Structure 1
Amino acid sequence: MPSPKKASAPAPKPPRPAAKKQPAKVGGVTMDVCLRVDSPKIREMEKKAAHRRGFKWALGLIAIICFFVLVKITVQEAILKNPQFELQDVAVQTRGPLSVEKIVRATLLTRGENLLTINMRALHTRLRQLPPVKDVAIERDFDAGLMTLRITQRQPVAWLDCPRLGMIAGRPEVGHLLDHEAVPFPCETVTETLAALPVIRYAALAQKTAGTAIQDLQLTSALKLLRELEERFEKGQPQVRSLDIQTPYSMLATFADKSVITFGVDDLDVQLARLDRIRLEARQRRWEIGTLNLLARQNVPITFRQPPDLAGLQPESPVPVTLSKTTSAR
Structure 2
Amino acid sequence: MKKEQTAILVFVMTICLIFTILASGCTFLESDQPENNQVSPADLVTAQTTQQVQPESTQAAVSWRDYYPDYDEQTKSGLIEDAKDEIVRLFPNVERSELEGYWQDHESSTYGPPGIVFANVDDTSEKYMEIQKIRWKGLEQNIHNNIVAVKVDPGSGDVVFYGRESWYKPLKEEIRTVSIEEAEDKVLEFVRNAKGNDFIEEKENDFYICKIDVDSSSGMGLAYIVLFNTYGGVQYLNDQIYVQYDLIEDVVRRYRDELKDPGLMKNLTTLSPVPTISENEAKRLLETKLKESYPGEDLNIQYRILNGHENSLNWYDQDELVYADQPDPIRLIWYITFSDSEMRKEDSRKTTTAIIDAHTGEIVSLNFRDIKIS
Which structure is larger by alpha-carbon Rg, 1 or 2?
A: 1
- Fold equivalence (TM over 0.5): no
Larger RCO of the pair (alpha carbons < 8 Å, separation 6+): 2
Greater strand fraction, Structure 1 or Structure 2: 2
Q: TM-score, normalised by structure 1?
A: 0.21
